[in-house]
Amino acid sequence: MLSRTGLPVRAGVRLAVDPGSVRIGVARSDPGGILASPLTFVRRGKNDLDELASLAEAEDAVEIIVGLPRSLSGRDGPAAATAREFAAALAARVAPVPVRLVDERFTTVSAHAALRQGGRDSRARRLASDQAAAAVLLQATLDAERRTGCPPGDLVLPGPDRSGAGG
């Protein structure tokens, strides 16, 4: 499949994860890399990386996108440092499947707005917002790759805090 730039768009299912303090939202793309959909959530805790690795295997994922919560100015804060550590641990667990960190500014806000417009009450929005935020992140990532012909974000190297980008 070709992007608007005439460059090939990579085929294959991609997963996106939005790691929160309680739940990790998960979304998946179709095999053509066109559309993102909410998939599920994983409870944060002892076996969360194992559950994500199982999902990646079950979905035959070619890549996993992890949201990087930067500040509005684009700087990394404590939440971004936590996301980088999580992404490095996930990369080690799912290798050789590549893991990329992608800026997730506004994804949670967009997801809440969409769920509110869909008529969900605040409790239902809380439960669905992690998955919806992951889907918003993944759709933005897919759209950016289609526009540029290049995968967005920073490749994460497995291990403690070894993402490909600086702070």
Do residues 125 and 118 make contact, with C-beta atoms less than 8 angstroms apart? no
pLDDT, the chain, mean: 82
Q: Please check the confidence at residue 111 and state whether its pLDDT lies above 60.
A: no
Superfamily of domain 14-148: YqgF/RNase H-like domain (3.30.420.140)
Give the span between the Cα atoms of 17 and 55, in whole angstroms.
11
Q: Please check the confidence at residue 116 and state whether its pLDDT lies above 70.
A: no
Among candidates 103, 101, 86, which has minimal Cα distance to 24? Answer: 86
Residue type, 113: A
Do residues 26 and 16 make contact, with C-beta atoms less than 8 angstroms apart? yes
Question: What's residue 91's pLDDT?
Answer: 97
Q: Between 122 and 58, whose confidence is greater?
A: 58
**pLDDT band with cut points at 50, 70 and 90 for residue 128:** low
Give the span between the Cα atoms of 132 and 109, in whole angstroms.
10
Question: What's residue 90's pLDDT?
Answer: 97
**pLDDT band with cut points at 50, 70 and 90 for residue 163:** very low
Q: Please check the confidence at residue 161 and state whether its pLDDT lies above 50.
A: no
* Stretch among 60-74, 128-142, 149-163 having the lowest mean pLDDT: 149-163
Give the span between the Cα atoms of 71 and 147, in whole angstroms.
25
**pLDDT band with cut points at 50, 70 and 90 for residue 164:** very low
Question: What's residue 54's pLDDT?
Answer: 98
**pLDDT band with cut points at 50, 70 and 90 for residue 96:** very high
> What average pLDDT does this structure show over 39-65?
96
Question: What's residue 42's pLDDT?
Answer: 96
Do residues 1 and 9 make contact, with C-beta atoms less than 8 angstroms apart? yes
